[in-house]
Amino acid sequence: MPHTNGIVVNVGARIGCNCEIFQQVTIGEGKGGCPEIGNDVSIGPGAKILGGVKIGDGSRIGANALVVRDVPAGSLVLATPAEIHVRPLTPPSSP
């Protein structure tokens, strides 16, 4: 948590290892329970992750995104409401 100002995490949420959570993020209970966040997930400033959603390993949640549905592993989530852009889990090999 590089900037801990205003971060709210519901007591029932599960957060994996090596996650990066920026300022003004809310991870909260809603319809269907609390979020489950995988390993190596980055959550940008002002993002909201609400309800019983699952965020897959290696995903990136952009600033101010509103996430209310599951996110597959290795995805990039942008905008409000959130759009999911699936990306490869491993970077392409260099020439």
Q: How far is CA 80 from CA 12, 62, 84, 85, in A?
A: 24, 10, 11, 13
Going residue by residue through the chain (95 aa), what tens digit of pLDDT does each one get?
666 678 889 889 999 999 999 999 999 998 889 999 999 999 999 999 999 999 999 999 999 999 999 999 999 998 766 667 666 565 555 55
Residue 82: its pLDDT value, please? 62
Q: Global pTM?
A: 0.80
DSSP per residue over the chain, as a string? Answer: ----TT-EE-TT-EE-TT-EE-TT-EEE-BTTB--EE-TT-EE-TT-EEESS-EE-TT-EE-TT-EE-S-B-TTEEEETTTTEEEE--SSPPPP-
- Domains of the chain, start order: 8-86 (2.160.10.10)
Residue 32: its pLDDT value, please? 86
